[in-house]
Structure 1
């Protein structure tokens, strides 16, 4: 069970974009996530007349390692750690470590 999933609101805790918040749009692999508006780079693209694209400089989001982000707890307004709790009916749910509240599925 992944502790950080697509659709979660996260805050960057390390790196160039430290302190910024965003929503996870995609998990690129087991350890990297793509967050909208975070870790953007300028990419120079060539024009391709077959595809109908023009050349130029494009801003593109790049993946960031999941250890550099923490889930955002709206109740406390801070970054929080995630734990796994087993319910009475056998289901596993994600909870905030600080308060024990369940994390709502996005």
Structure 2
């Protein structure tokens, strides 16, 4: 399996879908499924019936996973960039394609 180009804690921008243009931080990365959960983006709603555990019932809103191809890293100026890997000082480092700067993490 290839190394993940987007990891937990990265700032990303949504490239397509209803939340196109929104930015947020990756809270969960699921590399085997090819999905990520981004804070404040792709909010899903579930209608919950009242139960003993939840006597009020109502609406549950949560951040749903989205496909990793729908997001891209954000540079310092707020634009999307692809990520590549380079060897720097004998270590494999993630690098922003547009700026050439190393991505920490």
TM score, norm. by length of structure 1: 0.87
User: CA 1:53 to 1:4, structure 2 compared with 1: closer, same or farther past 3 Å?
Assistant: farther
1:3-82 aligned at under 5 Å gives the runs 3-30=5-32, 31-49=34-52, 51-52=53-54, 54-74=56-76, 76-82=77-83
Task: Name the count of aligned residue pairs.
Answer: 102
Provide the alpha-carbon RMSD of the alignment. 1.4
Flag structure 2 segments of 5+ consecutive residues without an equivalent.
none
Flag structure 1 segments of 5+ consecutive residues without an equivalent.
none
Task: Find the aligned partners of 2:7 and 2:30 in 1 and give their Cα distance.
Answer: 11
TM score, norm. by length of structure 2: 0.88
Q: CA deviation at 1:32?
A: 0.6
